[in-house]
Amino acid sequence: MTKKLPAPGALSLALVLLAAAPAAAAENFALGAKAGTAGLGLEGTFGMGEALNLRGGYYAFDYSDTLNENGIEYDGDLELENLGLFLDWHPWRGTFRLSVGGVQSGNAFTGTADGALDVGDNTYTANLRADVDWDGFAPYFGVGWGNAVGTGGWSMSFDLGIMYTGEPTVSLTGTVSDPALQDQFDQDLALEEAALQDELDDVTFFPVIALGVAYRF
């Protein structure tokens, strides 16, 4: 696995959070790091009262993965990139919390397959590339334990939630070894893309499990 390099927007967010920390000391500010299914990230938490916190973070990671659909195995990378803003409510003024918010998601899978492949209604010796994108706004709901601004110093946290990412966008491109079959291959590739889109239309939820550590200034 290789860590994804932060995008310019992520670097801007990190700089804002770091710059805000000293000035926000009197406003119950905590800065933390988090690792989970949405990626590795940096978070900032502002206390808004005894029971409410506002939390923002950026999370990203890349790792190798495979996608098996319609008898074709695509080897590639799953790229995670998520920018989120959440409202945490601690109903009993303790560590347990309910969280709602939204995530601007750029999660995507890119994979390739080659060899003798069943594409549409025929078998070809071909190269395929699959691009699957969950790009857009994703509402979030979850529960968690830990209050980054509840006490001074260090704290731990655990999150369990779900993002509604909606249906992904699927794109298949490819070439066939015999140029004389390219037109027929393109027609079958369109059928294969539609079938892959249909199979992935139900992949609309992204589970979020994360562990974190934070320091209150």
What is the model's pLDDT at position 118? 93
Give the tokens for residue 96: 């347990």
CB 134 within 8 A of CB 108: yes
Q: Does the pLDDT at position 61 exceed 90?
A: yes
Residue whose structure tokens are 């209050």: 147
Whole-angstrom Cα distance, residue 186 to residue 180?
A: 11
What is the model's pLDDT at position 1? 36
pLDDT band at residue 24, thresholds of 50, 70 and 90? Answer: very low
Reported as type and span, the H/E element at residue 10 is helix 8-23
For residue range 150-206, list pLDDT tens digits in order: 888 899 999 999 999 999 999 999 999 999 999 999 999 999 999 999 989 988 999
What is the model's pLDDT at position 115? 93
Burial string for 82-117 (b: 16+ CB within 10 Å, else e) reads: bbbebebebeeeebebebebbbebbbbbbbebeeeb
Q: Does the pLDDT at position 136 exceed 80?
A: yes
Handedness of CA 35, 104, 132, 166 (dihedral sign): positive
What is the model's pLDDT at position 27? 59
Domains and their CATH numbers in the chain: 8-216 (2.40.160.170)
